Structures are given as structure tokens and as C-alpha cells.
Structure 1
Amino acid sequence: MNSTRKNIGSGSPLEPEIGFSRAVRKGSHVAVAGTAPIADDGTTAGVGDVHAQTVRCIDIAETALKAAGASLDDVVRTRIMLTDITTWKEAAKAHGERFAGIRPVTTFVEVSRFIDPDWLVEIEVDAVTDDGQ
């Protein structure tokens, strides 16, 4: 089977510069890149608030999934990267609010920092759809 690749952009000027897509769909698989808590105006959403930033990351990932023909129900893996692992419960609460009924495999890791020092969390998402477009 020859699956078509679909690259999904977010409009970020960094995508062509770095050479990445917000998400990529290949067959039934959808991968969403590390998603930071960026507000619609380009600033950081929820400065200082891990829960609010995690919610924003999930919202952005959900938009990318929809553009790829998938949904949160199709998510099979999430990776949550935090600059302070002691805040994992705040991120976990936001994750549970959206994924409690889906229950993807999930990994929490601590990283030293992100591109923007106001970002406290980034999330990656992998999904598999039933239709295999």
C-alpha cells in the first residue's frame, strides 16, 4: 500500500527555516511535534502556570490532529516534557482532563530548558486512525 504523506503547518515562520511540520500524517499514523504553550498572539500562554500551559499545548496539538483528519480519541502516545519534574502533577491534571477516557501511553521527562524560558512544558502526540487515509 502506498500511503500519502500530508504535512500540516501551523503558520510558524520557524517551520520552513528549521525544516519541520507541526504534524505529519502518513497512512493511519499522525505525529505531532513538540508543542509549546504559545498563545494566538505569539506570546507565552499561562506564564508561570504549568496546568494552563499544558492545556494550551493540548489545544494546539488537537488543532493539528484535526487538520490531519484525526482527533484526541486517536491518540496512542503523549510525551510531556517539563523544566521542573516536581510540577508533574499539575501537567498530569490537565492531561487527565482531556485523556482520562482515552488513556494513551504517557511519558513525563524533565528537560533543562526550552527555546523560550517562559515555557514550562512541551507535549508531543502520536495518533493512529482507523481509516488509514
Structure 2
Amino acid sequence: MNRKNLSSGTSWEESVGYSRAVRVANTIEVSGTVSITNSGEIVGENDPFLQTRFILMRIQNAIEQLGGKLEDVVRTRIYVKDIDQWDKIGKAHSEFFGEILPCTTMIEVSRMIQETYLVEIEATAILNHD
């Protein structure tokens, strides 16, 4: 099995025991991603649209580092603190995926690790698909 783990270098990865993303064969799985920089700064505080855009840029970057591209994404999973903000989150998601049209799920959750996180997104990409 050919496996490649991608780390963003955050302390959470070491303490929890996970990778930012993992590629096995032609599949890339991206861990739940929130709107923080690698140094821990929140991006888009109180703004679910800006948080979603930043998260999707981070996901795109991880996929590209593992040899994929955004067009390879077949599924996203979106966890949100307030489902009433679905339209803002969806608008940002559409900016990235409006033509790709992956499967997606948006679920409201009661809490996230930090109160400032409004959105968390996971993604699956399959490379070289027809």
C-alpha cells in the first residue's frame, strides 16, 4: 500500500494523532478543517462565509500537495454551528464547487472545539476518475 500523510505542523496533529490529509492510492481524505492559520489565528471570526472560503482554500491546498486538484473532490461534509447560516456557507461552497458538483452534507452541530469556529469541513477526492 502506497500511503502519504500530509501534516500542517499544528500541535493538535501530534497530540490527537492525525494528519491534515492522507493519500492512499488514488484517494485523498482531508481531515475536518476549520478556519485557522497554521499559527493558530482565526480567519473570518463571526463570518461563516469567510470561514468557509478560507477552509476550502486550505482543503484545496492539501489536495494539491498530495497530487490532486479540486476537480477530484467527490464529497464534502460540512459541520456548522448555526444551520440558519446555510445560505452564506453554501454560497462560499458554490464558489469552489459550483461546476464540480460533489456530493455534500451540511449538518448543524451543538459545539466545536473552540467557540469561534462556525464551520468545519471534510473532503474526499478520487484522482484519475472518469
Give the TM-score of the pair, scaled to structure 1: 0.93
| Unmatched runs of 5 consecutive residues or more in structure 2 | none
Structure 1 residues 76-112: Cα deviation after superposition (integer angstroms, max 9, x where no partner): 0001100011111110000001101100001000011
Equivalent residue, structure 1, for 2:42: 44
Equivalent of 1:54 in 52, 56, 78: 52
Instruction: Report the Cα distance in structure 2 between the residues aligned to 1:71 and 1:99, rounded to whole angstroms.
Output: 12
Moved over 2 A (4+): none
Instruction: Report the Cα distance in structure 2 between the residues aligned to 1:27 and 1:107, rounded to whole angstroms.
Output: 25
Equivalent of 2:8 in 7, 10, 26: 10
Closer, same or farther: CA 24–40 of 1 in aligned 2, 3 Å:
closer
Give 1:41 deviation, angstroms. Answer: 4.0
Give the TM-score of the pair, scaled to structure 2: 0.95
Equivalent residue, structure 1, for 2:72: 74
Q: Quote the RMSD (CA, aligned, Å).
A: 1.1
| Unmatched runs of 5 consecutive residues or more in structure 1 | none
Equivalent residue, structure 2, for 1:121: 119
> Structure 2: which amino acid aligns with 1:110?
E
Equivalent residue, structure 1, for 2:20: 22
Q: What percent identity do the matched residue pairs reach?
A: 42
Structure 1 residues 33-61: Cα deviation after superposition (integer angstroms, max 9, x where no partner): 00000035421110000000000100111
Secondary structure, counterpart of 2:112 in structure 1? coil
Aligned length: 129
